[in-house]
Amino acid sequence: MASERAEDVGREASLEYPETDWRGFFESHFGPSMLWALISIGGSHIVLAPTLGGTFGLAAIWMFGLIYLAKYGAWELGIRYNYGVGSNPIEGYRDLPGPKNWALWLTILVFTVMYTFITASVGMSTAAFVAALTPEWFTAAWAYVTFVGGAGVLVLVSRYSLLEKALIGFTVALGVLVLLGVVVGPPSQEVVLETTFAMPDLTGPVFVGLFAAAAGFAPTGFSTSILIGSWSMAKGEGASELHEKGLDPDDPKYHDYIRAWIKTGRRDFNIGYVFSFLLIVAMVILASNVLYPNPPTDANLAFAIGNILSESFGDWSYYAMLVGAFAALYSTVITLLDGSARATGDILPMALEDESIDSERVRKLVVVGVVVVSSATVVALGEVPVTLLLYVAAILAVTEIFFYPANWYVVEKNLPEPFRPSRAWHVYYVVSLVLVLIFGAMGAAVRLGFIG
C-alpha cells in the first residue's frame, strides 16, 4: 500500500502544469483558438459582415454582438470538456440518451453532407475573388473546380503546410489592414447618426433572412467545437495527461491541476473569439462607410469587397483586399476539407464500434466526395456566391443547434463535480439556448418560405 502511494506521488510530481505568465502561455499553449478563428475569417467576415453592414449600416454591430454573446456557450462547454475530461466532446456523445450512437451518426451527417454545401458556398465566394484577379475566360466556375480540386489534392497528400502558412500570413495581414482601415477611414457622421441605433423591420424578409444567415455562419457553426477539440487534444494538455499516467481526475488532489488547465484552455479560446469579433466589427464599419446602403451582390461581390478599403488607403488597396480575401476564404476551404474528413474518419469507428476501420481511408474518401459533389453543385447553380452562402448559412442556424445542448449534457455527466457549470453559468446557458433556438426558427422560416 505504501509503495502504491509513493508511486502515485511520483506520477503526480511529474505532471506538467500550464505556464501562468503571458509569455509562457503564448510560447507553449496558444494556438487552437487561432486555427478556429481562421475558419471564421471566411464566409462570415468576408461575405456576411459586408452584406449586413452594407444593408443595415452600423446597426449590424449590435446584431453580431448578440450572436457572438449567445453562441459563446457552446464552445465554452467544449473547452471545459476538452481540458477537464481530457478528450474530445464527441467521445461523450456516445452517452447521450436515445438510440445507440445516434448522436455520432448525426455528427457524421453534418461533417459529410452539410460540410459539402458549406465548402461549396465558401469555395464559390473564393472563386469570385479568383475570377476578379484573372483573365475573363477564367470564370468563377473554372476557378472553383481548379482551386477547390487543388485543395482536395493538398489535403489528400497532407503536404500543404507551406501553403497553409502563407495563407495564414495573408489572412493575418488582411486582419491588420482591416483594423487599420477603420482607424484611417471611419464612417461619416451622417452614417453614424443614421444607422447606429436604427431599428430594422424585425419581421421583414430582409432582416430575418440576413440575421438568420449571420446566426448560422458567424463566427462559425457549432460543429467546430469538435474540430477545436481535436486541435486542443493534439497538444496533449489538460486531464488527458492524468489518463496517460493512470491517475483519477475525480481525485481532489488533482483538481488544482485540472482547474489550471481549464483556465488556460479558456484563455486561449477567448483570445481567438475576441479577435474574430473585433475583425467582424471592423468589416461592418468599413462596409457601412463604403457600401451602405448598397450591399454586395452575386454579380459584384469581389468588386464591392475589393473597394472596402479604398477610402482608407486608396486604389492600391483594391488588389490587397482581393488577395487577402482570397487567402482568408481559401484557407477556410482547406480547413473545412481537412477538418470534416478527419472528424468523420475518427467518428465512424466509434459509431460502428469497429476499431478495424481504416480511418485514413475514410478520410480520403470524404475529401474526394466533398470536392466532387460540391463542384457539381457549383457548376449546376452558376455564379451565385452571396445567394448560396446566405442560403447555406440560414440552414446552419437550424441544423447545428444540436451541438450546444449535447456539449452541455456531456459536461454535466463527465466532469468532476467542482468543474461543472455554476448556477450563473446555468442561467446563461438557458438564456443563450433560447436565443439560439429563436435564431434557428428564423432560419427555418426563411428556408420554408414562411418569410420571403
Q: Specify the DSSP class assigned to residue 186.
A: P
Cell numbers for 364: 480520403
Cell numbers for 170: 495573408
Residue 385 scores a pLDDT above 70: yes
Q: Which of 46, 9, 29, 49 is nearest to 292 (CA)?
A: 49
Provide mean pLDDT across the span 147-151.
93
Cell numbers for 311: 477610402
What is the structure's pLDDT at 159? 66
* Dihedral angle of Cα 173, 281, 68, 29, to the nearest 10 degrees: 30
pTM: 0.93
Q: Are 264 and 23 in contact (CB under 8 A)?
A: no
Q: Are 318 and 343 in contact (CB under 8 A)?
A: no
Cell numbers for 176: 491588420
Residue showing cell 454582438: 65
Long-range (24+ apart) CB contacts under 8 A made by 93-98 are: 93/406, 93/410, 94/350, 95/410, 95/413, 95/414, 96/406, 96/409, 96/410
What is the structure's pLDDT at 160? 62
Residue 447 scores a pLDDT above 80: no
Q: Mind listing the pLDDT tens digit for each residue in 224-264?
A: 999 888 777 777 777 888 888 888 888 888 999 999 999 99
Q: Which residues contact 403 (CB under 8 A, 6 or more apart)?
A: 74, 222, 223, 225, 226
The number of domains in the chain is 1
Q: Are 218 and 280 in contact (CB under 8 A)?
A: yes
Q: Are 196 and 58 in contact (CB under 8 A)?
A: yes
Arithmetic mean of pLDDT over the chain: 89
What is the structure's pLDDT at 65? 98
Kindly state whether residue 146 falls inside one of the protein's structural domains.
yes
Kindly state whether residue 72 falls inside one of the protein's structural domains.
yes
Residue showing cell 482601415: 181
Kindly state whether residue 7 falls inside one of the protein's structural domains.
no
* Domain at 68, CATH number: 1.20.1740.10
Cell numbers for 134: 484573372
Kindly state whether residue 291 falls inside one of the protein's structural domains.
yes
More confident site: 258 or 7: 258
Kindly state whether residue 68 falls inside one of the protein's structural domains.
yes
With b for 16 or more beta-carbon neighbours within 10 A and e for fewer, the 68-84 pattern comes to bebbbbbbbbbbbbbbb
With b for 16 or more beta-carbon neighbours within 10 A and e for fewer, the 40-49 pattern comes to bbbbbbbbbb
Q: Mind listing the pLDDT tens digit for each residue in 339-353?
A: 899 899 999 999 999
Provide mean pLDDT across the span 156-180.
79
**First vs last C-alpha separation in the chain:** 72
Instruction: Determine the structural domain holding residue 83 and report its residue range.
Output: 21-447
192-196, 258-262, 355-359, 443-447: which range is least confident on average?
443-447
Kindly state whether residue 50 falls inside one of the protein's structural domains.
yes
Kindly state whether residue 188 falls inside one of the protein's structural domains.
yes
Residue 13 scores a pLDDT above 60: no
What is the structure's pLDDT at 5? 42
Q: Which residues contact 212 (CB under 8 A, 6 or more apart)?
A: 393, 394, 397, 439, 442, 443, 445, 446
Provide mean pLDDT across the span 381-385.
89
More confident site: 236 or 86: 86
Q: Mind listing the pLDDT tens digit for each residue in 132-142?
A: 999 888 888 88
Instruction: Tell me how far apart the alpha carbons of residues 329 and 121 are, in angstroms, rounded to a whole number.
Output: 10
* Dihedral angle of Cα 62, 67, 73, 78, to the nearest 10 degrees: -130
Residue 8 scores a pLDDT above 80: no
Kindly state whether residue 9 falls inside one of the protein's structural domains.
no
